[in-house]
Amino acid sequence: MAGASYSSFHEGSLSQLGDEKIMKLMRKLEESSYPYDMVQLPYTLGDNGGPDPTLADFVQHWNERYVTPRLIIATHESMFREFEKRYGATLPVVQGDFTPYWRTGRSLQRTRLRSTVRRPIA
C-alpha cells in the first residue's frame, strides 16, 4: 500500500520534484486500479536524513493548488490507523515470511562475500 519507497526523493527535495513525482505516482496507481483512496508516500532527504524544513509549506501550497490528491503530513502510525479504520475489515489476509531486505538482501550478501574473501586460503 505504500505508493513509493522512502528513497523516491533522494535525488532532490519535494519542493524541487514534488509535483512531477506525485502526479507520476497518481497515474501509476490509477493504471494499476489501486482500490483505496489513500496511499502512503514516505519522504526523506536521503538515508537517515533530517526533516525537510520546506515540507509544511509545500503541502499547504499543493493543497491550495490541487483538489486531489490531498496531502496530509502524518506519522506512519496515524496513517495506518486511518487506513485500518477505513479498510481493515476488507483487507485480504496474507501469511508467510516477510523477512526484511536488510537482513537477507544484497547488503548481507556483500558482507558474507567480504568475510569469505578475507579468509586465508589453506
pLDDT 10s digits, 84-120:
999 999 988 888 877 666 655 555 555 554 555 555 5
Domain coordinates in residue numbering, the chain: 6-118
Cell of 66: 490541487
pLDDT 10s digits, 9-42:
666 677 777 788 888 888 999 999 999 999 888 7
pLDDT 10s digits, 47-68:
777 788 888 999 999 999 999 9
Does the predicted TM-score (pTM) go above 0.75? Answer: no
The torsion angles phi and psi of 2, rounded to 5 degrees, stand at -70, 135
